[in-house]
Amino acid sequence: MTHEVLIIGGGLLGCAAAWHLARAGLAPRLIEARGINAGASGQNAGSLHFQIERRFLEPGASGQGADIVRLNRLAIEEWAGLEEQLSRPLDIHMHGGLMLAESEADLALLASKVARENELGLPTQLLSGAEARDLVPRLAPHVCGAAWLAREGHANPRILADAFAHAARASGAVIETDSRLLDLHRDGHGWQATIEQAGQISTARARHVILATGHWTARIAARMGLNIPLYLAPLMMSVTDRTAPFLPYLIQHVGKRLSMKQTDDGNMVIGGGWASAPQRMADGMPDLDAPPHLVPDNLRANLAVAASVLPCLRGRSLIRSWTGMTCISADQLPVVGQVPAAPGLYIAAGGSMFTLGPLLARMLARSIIERAMPEEIALFSAARFAHLNAFVVPS
């Protein structure tokens, strides 16, 4: 039997794509090596970053900020409709987000960022320190300004992929956990996958294959002889004990790595792109399956940045830190769609794929259903890196 679509990976991207394809009647099969949501999709900070993220303002990142705003505007609408589409509560909070400034230099950066966003149709607003403190009275007195976006926010990463998987199954998708892709190669007009499930090896044929394998994607592609410029980003997150609700917003920082929010349960979740250290395999390559080590200096620095803008954090206790891996692309923008050197093979990775995942999964599904890349995401097509595969001999 030949599947119309075989999806590898049961994270947010894979599960959401499965749902869109299933609703279109394509009855996809999804295989997940571990459990649904066991990867970055279940470990991330849950921030819905719709303002231009600080990483796009760093030296070296030039035009990408503008490109990403286009996508973010679509993502805002995607998230706004999600609970209704999936007809279940998803702990989505789009009550607003503040990107803070602590210095004059921060403020200048913030002002130019807001101007650029407004030009691109994103309604961020520049607030004074006092206005920011009106929103969050516990912000430190030296916070001197903020960019406010009313529809930013956060969602609960622990339940979203499940909700998509559940809906996908109900629409006819077949979802198998503990099923690992071992090998993938071309087979006529389609693909043949070798799959290990509970110690049993089997093969499956498919016309289209989606590698929704997060930070594993580049290595899986490399084994097929394909170059995908996705690089490992090992990160860490921390969470404190619960406290009475006081922060309905997403907090970021324009000059420092920080993301912070309060969950429905009252815990403070703190992150913002601080690195952890991957474990190494015998040959020195990072071990993609093992959780990275925490870097104590980064933990300290992350918490210090957080407590600097929100001093009440000093009264809380750290109850859990964890690490996870994701990947960024060579130009920091997502890489989505068919890999030109491998017709029928699709990817979607690189970037803040929690924020963008629901949108890009829908676009990916559309590009299979409509046999063409949707206009809206043409900028993010994998084709922009086609030159990297110029010397690949199709297998």
Partner 1 sequence: MIDIAIIGGGPAGQAAARQTLGAGLSTTMIDEQARPGGQILRQPPAAFAVKGWMAGRLYRPLRRLLAQTEADIRLDWRGGTSVAGIERIEDHFRLTLSGAHGGTLLARRVLIAAGCYDMPVAMPGWTLPGVMSAGAVQTLLKSQQVVAGQPIVLLGSHPLLLVLATQLLDAGAEVAAVLMPQTYGRMARAVLPYLAGAIFTPGPLIAAGAAMARLRRAGVPMMMGARPIGFTGDGRLEAVDYAWRGQVQRIAAQAAAVSYGFLPQSDLPRQIGAAVRWARPAGGWETVCDGAMRSSIPGLYVAGETTGVAGADAAMAEGEIAGIAMALDAGVRPPSGMARAQARRARLQPFIDLLRAAADPGEVWPQATPETLLCRCEDISVAQVEATMAQLSPMADASAVKHRCRIGMGLCQGRSCEHALVRRIAAARGCDPDAVTPFRMRFPARPIPIDEIIG
Partner 2 sequence: MSRIADGVTRPAPITVEIDGAMVPAHPGETLAAVMIAAGAYRMRDDRSGAPRGLLCNMGTCSECFVWIAMDGAWRRRRACLTLVSEGLCIATQEGQP
Interface contacts to ligand FAD, rule CB under 6 A:
8-14, 31-34, 38-41, 43-47, 49, 180-181, 212-214, 216, 235, 237, 259, 271, 324-326, 349, 352-355, 357
User: Residue 85 touches which of partner 2, ligand FAD, partner 1, none (CB < 5 to 8 A by kind)?
Assistant: none
User: 130: part of which helix (H) or strand (E)?
Assistant: helix 129-135
CA 32 to chain CA centroid, Å, is 18
Please, which residue, 8 or 76, has the CB nearer to ligand FAD?
Answer: 8
Rounded CA-CA distance 372/356 in Å is: 20
Strand 335-338 and strand 250-253: the pairing is unpaired
Structure tokens given for 77: 């609408």
Judged by CB under 8 A, the stretch of 138-146, 222-230, 242-250, 386-394 that binds partner 2 is 242-250
User: Residue 355 touches which of ligand FAD, partner 2, partner 1, none (CB < 5 to 8 A by kind)?
Assistant: ligand FAD
In the set 142, 180, 185, 300, which binds partner 1 (CB under 8 A)? 300
Residue type, 156: N
CA 232 to chain CA centroid, Å, is 13
In the set 243, 279, 298, 321, which binds partner 2 (CB under 8 A)? 243
CA 109 to chain CA centroid, Å, is 25
Please, which residue, 77 or 265, has the CB nearer to partner 2?
Answer: 265
In the set 316, 362, 366, 384, which binds partner 2 (CB under 8 A)? 316
Please, which residue, 38 or 388, has the CB nearer to partner 1?
Answer: 38
Rounded CA-CA distance 31/381 in Å is: 24
Structure tokens given for 175: 């979802």
Please, which residue, 26 or 303, has the CB nearer to partner 2?
Answer: 303
User: 164: part of which helix (H) or strand (E)?
Assistant: helix 160-170
User: 104: part of which helix (H) or strand (E)?
Assistant: helix 104-119
Q: Identify the sign of the CA torsion 37, 43, 46, 48.
A: negative
Note whether 169 binds partner 1 by CB under 8 A. Answer: no
User: Residue 180 touches which of ligand FAD, partner 1, partner 2, none (CB < 5 to 8 A by kind)?
Assistant: ligand FAD
Please, which residue, 243 or 298, has the CB nearer to partner 2?
Answer: 243
Tell me how far apart the 2 most distant CA atoms of the chain are, in Å: 66
User: Three-class SS of residue 160?
Assistant: helix
Structure tokens given for 290: 């093992």
How would you label 46-79 residue by residue, b for 16+ Cβ within 10 Å and e otherwise?
bbbbbbbbbbbbeeebeebbebbbbbbbbbbebb
Number of residues that bind partner 1 (CB under 8 A): 32
The distance of closest approach from Cβ of residue 315 to partner 2 in the complex, given in angstroms and rounded to an integer, is 5
| Residue 288 neighbours by CB distance under 10 Å | 20
In the set 314, 372, 394, 395, which binds partner 2 (CB under 8 A)? 314
Site string for partner 1, 5-44 (x = CB under 8 A): ------------------------------xxxx---x--
Candidates 86, 139, 92; CA nearest to 307 is 139
Site string for partner 2, 244-283 (x = CB under 8 A): x---------------------------------------
Binders of partner 1 among 303-322, rule CB under 8 A? 303-304, 307, 313-322
User: Residue 64 touches which of partner 1, ligand FAD, partner 2, none (CB < 5 to 8 A by kind)?
Assistant: none
Number of residues that bind partner 2 (CB under 8 A): 8
Rounded CA-CA distance 244/242 in Å is: 7
| Residue 376 neighbours by CB distance under 10 Å | 14
Binding site for partner 2 (CB under 8 A): 241-244, 314-317
Binding site for partner 1 (CB under 8 A): 35-38, 42, 158-159, 162, 177-178, 240-241, 265, 291, 293-294, 296, 299-300, 303-304, 307, 313-322
